[in-house]
């Protein structure tokens, strides 16, 4: 047993991605959902290389000598990452080529290769190539003695090696063909009752002679590059939007951190790429199956084949939010807690929409980190500003991989008269909050939404998150003070109820943990439960170790990165860590402290990582009304009872399926929470009296 106190964060993340891959191998999961999980693992790896591997590679190039909390140097981290990812890629390839492809074919979804086509299919593709593909693609010759051309990161390309003419340089003579992002990767083949397709790169490969007439083609292979995206705008820039656009441009010319290339590529071509891109062997990944499995994400949406998909779990209407009653009227009398995606996200959208249209609303203030492409919430903010309301939006331009979308939305908001703030210098603004100020008979009243997830109507159907709608005066005063601290030059001060990073959030969590320690020492009941996406902060991990040593029972539901090592005698034997991977991405952050039967429960936008606690603007909100607090406790308890999709972290860093006790019934937490939301909605419908409303003449 290693005596190290912490797991490496990147290796822990790779373990999470392997748990996602296990869902693709799970035969109890519907076939197209297994394909979707496989695509998710591929997309996850793309972002991991762009950010984490990109950043570590940059530090290694700069000669930075430091070790992480687990004791690994930068070189050791990169070597371990490469070893783990090469193994993971082998598992991905095997999952598709040895399992899913055959199973899909038996179910009527056939992936055909050039060698398995009928004469009719070949002739159809010849016409398709000449009419739809050839006019678009542009072969690009590469100068053997010049620099390698700048390519679009993560875009699929074909590399074609041509025979050198007599007397020419012995260096490989190659040309590149970009398989454009706006071209359909999956070419449907006609005829038959099944759905048959062939990949676009295979179609182009079939007719390469048309692209290089008179040339001898020695080989061709598909490849894609991943470039470093771990670069940020200078917060000192006079125009942050302009600086962010410069960063987006710079990413296209940054260093290559991964080459994925078909396994069939010869040693000649592999060596050529390594030299041209100045990459080490560890950055080369030979792929046996299709490249860019993330593109298969949309195959889960192929029409028909419903038996190969998950049964529908539509979000349930929220009984507390009567659609015939104003949101403001409802929140005047009670708080409303929503557990997404089991509860509908519509009440959150309604809050902003009604605020935009209500003549008594005078101002709306909102923090936006990530939004959808066709955001109804942003459209409501634009409408409110156009109607003369005071609208302020803090729109974080530094939200990684959403920078372009946020820049476009910022410009649209500014054109409509919204006051737009581009976050805070030196920090990312990651908090989720909306304040609506309404003039009423008793004076101005504030209505708030606090959340663990983004204002994104699309991901609200895919992620588990918590929303809290309230008009509590203490929270309203804190929300206004917090917002003004971000937008103006006002000095941060202590709040009545909330805690914020980087101000008080870390200290509050440490205080709550130490409170449980003291209660246990005094013979009182003590326990901690938490649900987060990541746990990597050494200070908080050390505090949890102290609580464990003091005898406090600790239950942690950590979806992804967990650097805490549980189950080590004398250090963490009272700590249990689980991770749940299921059809919805676990995303909510909930904290529970027993406090001798007087529990304190919080929701937060922050994970327990140094970046969240020190480098981001985050919020933690106490949930004090009993129904909402009790529901959150019930959510936590349900997660820790999961025996279907939960995996338990062991002291050696591996995960195992949670084992059922004797006579224990299987419990799948997401299914249980959805059924509970459904029962609650149905009971409300049944309890509502039937009212006949006659049609009257106009």
CA 556, 560, 561, 565 torsion: positive or negative? positive
* Residues with active-site annotation: 430
The residue written with tokens 């990413």 in the block is 251
Encoded tokens for 275: 């030299």
Taking the C-alpha atoms of 311, 315, 319 and 325 in order, what is their torsion angle to the nearest 10 degrees? -140
What is the rounded distance in angstroms from the CA atom of residue 152 to the CA atom of residue 134?
Answer: 20
Q: Can you say how many angstroms the Cα of residue 468 is from the centroid of all Cα atoms in its chain?
A: 21
The residue written with tokens 């419908």 in the block is 685
Residue 116 zone, left/alpha/beta (φ > 0; ψ -120 to 50; rest): alpha
Encoded tokens for 418: 């919204």
Q: Helix (H, G, I), strand (E, B), or coil: what is residue 656?
A: strand
Report in angstroms the alpha-carbon separations of 232 from 43, 152, 429, 613: 21, 19, 14, 19
Contact in structure between 37 and 309 (CB atoms under 8 Å): no
Give the burial string for 487-514 (b: 16+ CB within 10 Å, else e).
eeeeeeeebeebbbbbbbbbebbeebbe
Q: What is the DSSP string of 219-261?
A: EEEEEEEEE-------TT-S-HHHHHHHHHHHHTTSPEEEEEE
- Looking at residue 503, the DSSP 8-state letter turns out to be T
Q: Can you say how many angstroms the Cα of residue 75 is from the centroid of all Cα atoms in its chain?
A: 27
Report in angstroms the alpha-carbon separations of 534 from 312, 541, 563, 577: 29, 12, 8, 11
Q: What is the DSSP string of 36-68?
A: HHHHHHHHHHHHHIIIIIHHHHHHHHTT---B-
Q: Helix (H, G, I), strand (E, B), or coil: what is residue 341?
A: coil
Contact in structure between 229 and 50 (CB atoms under 8 Å): yes
Contact in structure between 293 and 257 (CB atoms under 8 Å): no
The closest alpha carbon to 287, from 220, 217, 221, 206, belongs to 221
CA 612, 613, 618, 622 torsion: positive or negative? positive
> Beta strand pairing status for 284-287 and 256-262?
parallel
């Amino acid at each position: 047993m290693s005596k190290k106190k912490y797991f490496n964060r990147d290796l822990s993340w790779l373990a999470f991605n392997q748990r996602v891959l296990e869902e693709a191998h799970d035969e109890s999961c519907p076939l197209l959902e297994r394909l979707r999980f496989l695509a998710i693992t591929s997309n996850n790896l793309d972002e991991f290389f762009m950010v984490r591997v990109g950043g570590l590679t940059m530090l290694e190039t700069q000669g930075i000598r430091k070790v992480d909390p687990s004791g690994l140097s930068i070189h050791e981290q990169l070597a371990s990452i490469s070893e783990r990812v090469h193994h993971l890629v082998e598992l991905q390839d095997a999952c598709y080529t040895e399992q899913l492809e055959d199973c899909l074919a038996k179910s009527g979804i056939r992936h055909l290769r050039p060698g398995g086509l009928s004469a009719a299919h070949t002739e159809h593709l010849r016409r398709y190539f000449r009419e739809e593909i050839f006019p678009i693609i542009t072969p690009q010759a590469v100068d053997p003695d010049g620099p390698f051309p700048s390519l679009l990161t993560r875009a699929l390309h074909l590399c074609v090696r041509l025979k050198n003419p007599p007397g020419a340089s012995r260096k490989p003579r190659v040309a590149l063909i970009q398989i454009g992002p706006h071209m359909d990767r999956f070419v449907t083949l006609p005829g038959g009752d099944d759905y048959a397709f062939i990949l676009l790169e295979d179609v182009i490969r079939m007719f390469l002679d048309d692209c290089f007439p008179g040339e001898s083609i020695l080989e061709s292979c598909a490849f894609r590059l991943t470039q470093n995206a771990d670069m940020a705008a200078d917060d000192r820039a006079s125009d942050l939007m302009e600086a962010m656009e410069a960063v987006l441009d710079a990413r296209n010319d940054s260093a290559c951190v991964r080459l994925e290339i078909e396994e069939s590529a010869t040693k000649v071509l592999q060596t050529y790429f390594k030299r041209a891109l100045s990459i080490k062997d560890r950055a080369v990944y030979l792929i046996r199956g299709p490249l860019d499995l993330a593109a298969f994400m949309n195959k889960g949406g192929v029409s028909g084949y419903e038996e190969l998909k998950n049964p529908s779990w539509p979000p349930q209407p929220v009984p507390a939010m009567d659609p015939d009653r104003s949101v403001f009227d409802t929140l005047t009398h009670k708080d409303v807690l929503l557990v997404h995606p089991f509860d509908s996200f519509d009440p959150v959208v309604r809050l902003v929409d009604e605020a935009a249209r209500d003549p008594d609303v005078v101002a709306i203030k909102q923090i936006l980190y990530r939004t959808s492409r066709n955001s109804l919430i942003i459209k409501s903010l634009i409408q409110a500003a156009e109607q003369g309301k005071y609208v302020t939006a803090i729109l974080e331009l530094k939200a990684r991989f959403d920078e372009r979308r946020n820049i476009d939305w910022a410009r649209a908001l500014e054109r409509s008269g919204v006051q737009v703030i581009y976050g805070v210098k030196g920090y990312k603004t990651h908090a989720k909050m909306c304040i609506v100020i309404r003039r009423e008979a008793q004076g101005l009243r504030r209505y708030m939404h606090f959340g663990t997830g983004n204002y994104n109507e699309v991901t609200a159907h895919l992620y588990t998150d918590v929303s809290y709608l309230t008009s509590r005066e203490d929270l309203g005063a804190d929300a206004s003070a917090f917002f003004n601290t971000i937008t103006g030059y006002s000095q941060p001060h202590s709040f009545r109820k909330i805690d914020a990073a980087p101000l008080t959030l870390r200290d509050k969590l440490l205080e709550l943990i130490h409170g449980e320690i003291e209660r246990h020492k005094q013979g009182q009941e003590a326990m901690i439960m938490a649900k987060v996406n990541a746990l990597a902060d050494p200070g908080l991990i050390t505090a949890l170790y102290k609580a464990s040593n003091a005898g406090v029972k600790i239950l942690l539901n950590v979806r992804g990165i967990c650097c805490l090592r549980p189950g080590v005698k004398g250090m963490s034997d009272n700590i249990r860590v689980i991770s749940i991977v299921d059809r919805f991405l676990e995303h909510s952050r909930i904290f529970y402290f027993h406090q001798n039967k007087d529990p304190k429960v919080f929701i937060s936008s922050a994970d327990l990582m140094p970046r969240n606690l020190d480098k981001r603007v985050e919020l933690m909100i106490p949930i004090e009304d009993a129904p909402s607090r009790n529901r959150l406790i019930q959510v936590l308890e349900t997660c820790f009872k999961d025996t279907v999709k939960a995996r338990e972290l062991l002291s050696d860093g591996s995960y195992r399926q949670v084992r059922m006790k004797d006579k224990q019934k299987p419990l799948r937490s997401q299914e249980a929470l959805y059924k509970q939301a459904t029962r609650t909605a149905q009971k409300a419908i049944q309890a509502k009296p039937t009212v006949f409303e006659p049609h009257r003449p106009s």
